[in-house]
Structure 1
């Protein structure tokens, strides 16, 4: 997701730092940047000494790609205008709207991507309960981050994905959460 940044800062690749080229493994995919979710087409670049082992692991853990997935990825990667800049602008607009609307809540400000987190534990709600209430009373689908990391950290957060939500649907999200969570 290195091209889905809102900071206008250049991406710092660890492999470009002194002494790090032979110690860095880079994994990429068309799934996020190119909006090809579920296509599972990607790549791994790293030091020659470890790539043979990575290849063996990949053979037993990765399903072979269907032809349309590989052709679609090739088209995205070689397009003159791949649409990433336009998508990034759209996602930034959506992110900015949500941040504005939820400014009084404990939101983790994302500098890229197309989702954000709210620390629902700070509000006295478990992420599971916050998710259920948001869906039932606020008509908002959000994912508890339970199980996505250490329980003391990830277990505090609820994830909102705004990748495909139109701005008109995002407007009023604060009122819907106020109704659902009584905060």
Structure 2
């Protein structure tokens, strides 16, 4: 059977694969602690759910404009004005089926065959694959704990070539939880703007910051705004992953191109979920703060527990809901009756021997690390740490 080169070359999402395996084991009655998925364990706020019910009762079940209903795009524009100091017109906003869909549309809109997109590693698993699907070439620039997993202007300059088209910036970061400062973003944006790059800024975790502040690159200088494609959504902050509402805010020509691409690919996103997203963005924000406070306590619990384990080194993340420890000190050892030769093998050992699901750092472009999500209960985190301690005894 013939498949396209595009289909043959694409890799499935590792995080989704591991999450599916963990859920399969759970369904079979296994006591799996799933620290692999980037999915809040809180319920969607009640007023958001009620808005969705009202939309159903009102018969709001038809197609909407491909770029999203005007009410939601106005709510998004208001959100960016309120939270980020940014002004966007309705036709500069495109509502998509989650932030992932918005990113895909962005790369499809700006990449021609052979165009290079600079991606700092560790990176979210889908960035390189999306670039390849759009015909582009991902250029991976590795960062490390010595810089707090942050891209530096010097490293960005070294990565530039005549084919450089865009830079991806993710703050707070998935998987590291890194949060860039205002000055660090300004320094990177200056290099990108001088090189004529698009800046695709993934800001899905902006409300989940525990130290520092969230800064939108587009708000730093007027000239940056015209080079930024800002990606955001309601999934993480409002516990709405399954509702599939994300968006892009971009200069009008890019937004129009993204809307045209979407109109041929999926048309509009779910009409009822759009009404729910309006309620999330315009309604009370106290539950967002409450969830953030709980995540902070979970982060501290997990970081402190991991720091006590031999062979594990961990930095305290400033945002998102992931911890990204180095496990290089464990590799090559016999653990749970199996040899953990690399981070992929170690993740398999943890799942099969301790029933703990994590994601190997190889999936994020940095072998020798694991990503652990603390978007789960404190009791689960405490139990995971106990299992890890038992498993590593004598390793």
Q: TM tier, shorter chain?
A: 0.7 to 0.9
Write the distance in 2 (CA, Å) between the matches of 1:80 and 1:162: 24
* 2:367 is equivalent to residue 160 of structure 1: no
Contact 1:128-1:144 at 8 Å conserved across structures: yes
How far apart are residue 85 of structure 1 and its match? 0.4
Task: Determine the C-alpha separation between the residues in 1 that align with 2:361 and 2:260.
Answer: 31
Identify the residue that residue 141 of structure 1 maps to in structure 2: 357
Give the equivalent residue in structure 1 for 2:260: 56
Q: 1:102 to 1:45 in 2, by over 3 A?
A: same
Contact 2:303 2:323 survives alignment (8 Å): no
Pairing 1:1-183 to 2, within 5 Å after superposition: 1-7=205-211, 9-18=212-221, 19-62=223-266, 64-81=268-285, 83-104=287-308, 105-124=312-331, 125=340, 126-148=342-364, 150=365, 153=366, 155-163=367-375, 165-182=376-393, 183=395
Contact 1:27 1:44 in 2 (8 A): yes
Give the match's secondary structure for 1:119: coil
> How many Å apart are 1:68 and its aligned residue?
2.7
Bigger shift: residues 115-124 or 59-68? 59-68
Question: Residues of 1 paired with 2:263 and 2:360: CA distance?
Answer: 32
- Counterparts of 2:356 and 2:319 in 1: how far apart (Å)? 21
Instruction: Please give the alpha-carbon distance, in whole angstroms, between the structure 2 residues aligned to 1:63 and 1:88.
Output: 34
* Structure number, greater radius of gyration: 2
Displacement of 1:112 in angstroms is 1.1
Look up the match of 2:64. none
Q: Write the distance in 2 (CA, Å) between the matches of 1:145 and 1:53.
A: 34
CA contact (8 A) 2:326 2:368 kept: yes
CA contact (8 A) 1:134 1:181 kept: no
- TM-score when scaled to structure 1? 0.84
Give the whole-Å Cα distance in 2 for the aligned partners of 1:67 and 1:145. Answer: 37
* Distance in 2 separating the partners of 1:134 and 1:92: 25
3-state SS of 2:325 partner: strand
Tell me, what secondary structure is at the counterpart of 1:72?
helix
Report how far residue 106 of structure 1 moved: 1.7
> Taking structure 2 as the reference length, what is the TM-score of the superposition?
0.42
Deviations 1:21-68 (A, max 9, x none): 111111111111111113221111111232222222333455642233
Compared CA separation, residues 32 and 60, structure 1 to 2 (3 A): farther
Higher RCO (CA 8 Å, separation ≥ 6 residues): 2
What CA distance in whole angstroms lies between the structure 2 residues aligned with 1:145 and 1:58? 32
Total equivalences in the alignment: 177
